Amino acid sequence: GAGVSQSPSNKVTEKGKDVELRCDPISGHTALYWYRQRLGQGLEFLIYFQGNSAPDKSGLPSDRFSAERTGESVSTLTIQRTQQEDSAVYLCASSLSRGSNEQFFGPGTRLTVL
Amino acid sequence: SQQGEEDPQALSIQEGENATMNCSYKTSINNLQWYRQNSGRGLVHLILIRSNEREKHSGRLRVTLDTSKKSSSLLITASRAADTASYFCATETRGGKLIFGQGTELSVKP
């Protein structure tokens, strides 16, 4: 079956513009995660969705970052008024449910803010 | 705060040698997972070890977990050039969140 997909694969934008990144999780996976990875660094947790529960937004770095998920399907991560420090690869992952399950990662979106 | 920290940051070995990577963490965990990443894109899950397990094997991979020392190791035996990648440990906390370390960059020379 299809894995986790993300779009776009690459995004170049100008400082101050808004960007929207999309993630399509594996069908049937109730848990969805967004991470940020700066060059040469580890993964930084951003936000987590589990079914219809309130999302865990504890990793969002500022109020410029927001994410939505429709039911147990597509999720979008929105970054408003982008800054150069937002340049990174944004990775999405899904898993069957919260806890003790492996996460399946998408290929990521490489965001470059000029 | 940093949960998982890998050691070494970079490792270079010859094909056929064994590669050992270590991970330390700070808080109580449900499980610890190891992932592999090629070319800075998507990660691939390698192995999961639960907090009540001490050792686990999968093919050429051997993972150990010492909860008293809050540490884990990943051993890749008989390494191949194709094993060249970054390897990350990730700890699942009691709250269900997965926290990744900074990774070990492994280079296997043919």
Please list every residue in chain A whose beta carbon sits closer than 8 Å to the beta carbon of residue B99. Answer: 45
Strand partners, B21: B74
Dihedral sign (CA B41, A77, A26, A74): negative
DSSP states along A34-69: EEEE-TT---EEEEEEETTSPPB-TT--STTEEEEE
Please list every residue in chain B whose beta carbon sits closer than 8 Å to the beta carbon of residue A89. Answer: 40-41
pLDDT at B1: 38
Question: Nearest CA of chain B to the CA of A49: how many Å?
Answer: 11
Burial class (CB in 10 A: 0-12, 13-18, 19+), B41: middle
pLDDT at B57: 96
pLDDT at A98: 66
Task: Name the residue facing B41 among A44, A45, A108 (closest C-beta).
Answer: A108
Beta strands at A65-69 and A44-50: parallel, antiparallel or unpaired: unpaired
In tens, the pLDDT along B22-74 reads: 999 998 898 999 999 987 678 999 999 999 999 999 999 999 999 999 999 99
Between CA A41 and CA B73 the distance in angstroms is 20
- Percent pLDDT > 70 in chain B is 94
For residues A58-74, average pLDDT? 92
Residue among A80, A93, A89 nearest A34 (CA): A93
DSSP states along B65-84: EETTTTEEEEEE-S--GGG-
For residues B14-19, average pLDDT? 97
Between CA B76 and CA B97 the distance in angstroms is 27
- Percent pLDDT > 90 in chain B is 74
In tens, the pLDDT along A17-32 reads: 999 999 999 998 989 9
**Residue A54: pLDDT over 50:** yes
pLDDT at A19: 98
In tens, the pLDDT along A37-47 reads: 998 888 999 99
In tens, the pLDDT along A70-108 reads: 888 899 999 999 999 999 999 999 988 766 678 899 999
Between CA B59 and CA B28 the distance in angstroms is 28
For residues A6-27, average pLDDT? 97
